[in-house]
Chain A
């Protein structure tokens, strides 16, 4: 497979990256691990006349764990899995990363690429919405922060401007129980349905919940209604059913090689119920 020809750039700092983006506009794209972009280029579904490889740009990888957790865009899924401080502070990150792709891909695939690409099949966007994360982007006018819940507009369309680069994700250290539950046909596949759930329990009552779904619409779906259906309940069968029903009102799957719409909605319900039960048991 031979992608269309391109000019390869490997700048050593962010100002170099931004200068190339300014000069070439739509014709330039940044690449982190390349494991979403290169397959698209090989299929000639993406043509990138100016490819900007971020590997030599300093300061883009690393994980900082405190009350706020910040993860550099070039941090790989393997880095996420290996980081014990992160696994202790936000265990849902490791649980989700272990379900992404396969070992080789996790060595290369990055958090930044996963969230910035805007592919509805990617797992990190839904997870970031569940965690109410913010994305830091930098452009010619400086830095700004965009909430993950406002970032996704449509498949591959995000609030990031073409001349901006996503440099980090950050979120408050999550509280309570967690689960990332994913149904996929085989290792390396995108989700048929996946659910990210964080639940806080006080006494026997759910005091807050956050629920987001993956690959069930052309964007990740943060379901405010499903989250609200759990709050104030003891997360019994009726509450789980109500949350699932609310979630089903927010998703909009389409038929593809993972199955017809009715099947996807069925799987989404099963996966969310499992995720809620597991998160509650850990709360």
Chain B
């Protein structure tokens, strides 16, 4: 009954073909089949947000999607946002403003924050806290995460203005 099937995904701009049972959770496909280990498995129960990726323009907890549902979708993970040599402004800001301690929640935080800033490029502190409510951090107390996102927003807005 549950034979493996081929699924076509676009992950960080690259077309990939995976062979998996439909019940495989997308986070496992990303981590174990594609070696994309940025998105983490935290609670695995849709609460913590460590597994957050962007799918067709929506922030999604990839522990709560079967790979079969993701067939044909465009997926962006933290690996698709920046690189060690060219950090995304959010990555740079988290580094500068101590937006992380252990770092476990950080890929999910930054991936979610990237979508938040796309929808609302100049959020207030309250909007940041509300928009990040699906991501849990057990280290920072959130203060520096909020600060980092605010700083990244300012940086990205300044860069956009300079480009215009």
State the majority secondary structure of interface residues on B. loop
Q: Are A34 and B69 in contact (CB under 8 A)?
A: yes
A105 and B61 contact, CB distance less than 8 A: yes
Chain B nearest CB from A190 CB (Å) reads 12
Residues of A within 8 A of B58 (CB): 78, 107-108
In whole angstroms, how far apart are the Cα atoms of A102 and B116 in the complex?
13
Answer whether residue B74 sits at the interface, using C-beta atoms and an 8 A cutoff. no
* Minimum CB distance partner of B58 in chain A: A107
What bracket does the count of chain B residues touching chain A fall in? Answer: 20 to 34
Residues A39 and B64 in contact, CB atoms below 8 Å apart: yes
Q: Which of B22, B63, B112 contacts A8 (CB 8 A)?
A: B22
Q: How many residues of A contact B (CB 8 A)?
A: 29
Residues in A neighbouring B64, C-beta threshold 8 A: 34-35, 38-39, 105, 108
Q: Quick one: given A39-B64, A55-B69, A103-B59, are A7 and B134 in contact (CB under 8 Å)?
A: no
Closest 8 CB pairs of A and B: A102-B134, A5-B2, A8-B22, A107-B58, A8-B68, A104-B134, A187-B133, A102-B133
15 A-B pairs with C-beta separation under 8 A: A1-B25, A1-B44, A4-B23, A8-B22, A10-B68, A34-B64, A39-B45, A42-B25, A51-B22, A78-B58, A102-B133, A103-B132, A107-B58, A108-B64, A187-B133
Question: What residues of chain B have their CB less than 8 Å away from a CB belonging to chain A?
Answer: 1-2, 5, 21-23, 25, 44-47, 49, 52, 58-61, 63-66, 68-69, 71, 112, 116, 130-134
Which A residues lie at the B interface, using CB under 8 A? 1-8, 10, 34-35, 38-39, 41-42, 49, 51, 53, 55, 78, 101-105, 107-108, 187-188
